Amino acid sequence: MTPTPPAPSPDDSSGRGNRARGERHSQILDAAIDVFAEKGFHKARIADVAERAGVADGTIYLYFKNKEELLLTIFEEKMSQLIEGVQAAMAGTTDPLLRLGIFARYHLEQVQAHRTLAEVLQVELRLSNKFLKEYRPEKLWEYLGIIGTCVREGQERGLVRAELDPYVVSWSFFGALDELAMQWILQRRPRFTLEAAAASVADVFVRGIAVPPQP
């Protein structure tokens, strides 16, 4: 007689359920990124996202309250991945000025590698009144904090000019990268490569904030 296989334990069943839910969550987010980039956030409908994800409209509402929550979740999760990625890229470098160059290169590499996502975060996110007026973008502040840490560490080591405000430098550095990413996305035939843009931004800012060499 063939032995009957043991029934799955409740823990096993729960684990499979969580994995399936996580996969469906990611499937919906990926579909939303494509739809928001293609149709625009305001014109896109939940039904469009559901169709692209291959699920019923009602399934979307099991995971997200509305279209705005979908957009903010994309921002939260992708920013978390960006933070982890840039920290890993910078991990082996001790010089804070060199880390700024790595940050610039990594940031714009991600824009180029994930253009559809970048279009949603660069363009469509800015069209959300909820994001602009009500939402606290703590993940963005954490991302900017990585730049600020490099600046402060550079000041402590005598590499960065002491009179500079790390907050202002962080926003200026990120703002340059952000604007170049926006221009690259919006232009049909960009006049520059993102690789060259990253090198230029890093060079200008590092030279500008570095303590001048002593004669």
Q: What are the Cα distances from residue 70, in Å, to 2, 17, 74, 81, 144?
A: 49, 21, 6, 17, 23
pLDDT class for 124, splitting at 50, 70, 90? confident
pLDDT, residue 142, reads 96
Q: Among residues 96, 117, 138, which one has the least CA distance to residue 181?
A: 117
Q: Which domains does the chain have, with CATH numbers?
A: 10-64 (1.10.10.60), 68-209 (1.10.357.10)
pLDDT digits (tens, 9 = 90+) for 36-63: 999 999 999 999 999 999 999 899 999 9
Cα–Cα distance between 82 and 132 in angstroms, integer? 21
Do 145 and 87 form a contact (C-beta atoms < 8 A)?
no
pLDDT, residue 195, reads 96
pTM of the model: 0.86
Cα–Cα distance between 193 and 120 in angstroms, integer? 20
pLDDT digits (tens, 9 = 90+) for 166-190: 999 999 999 999 999 999 999 888 8
Percent of the chain's residues with pLDDT above 90: 76
Q: Among residues 52, 5, 13, 45, which one has the least CA distance to residue 29?
A: 52
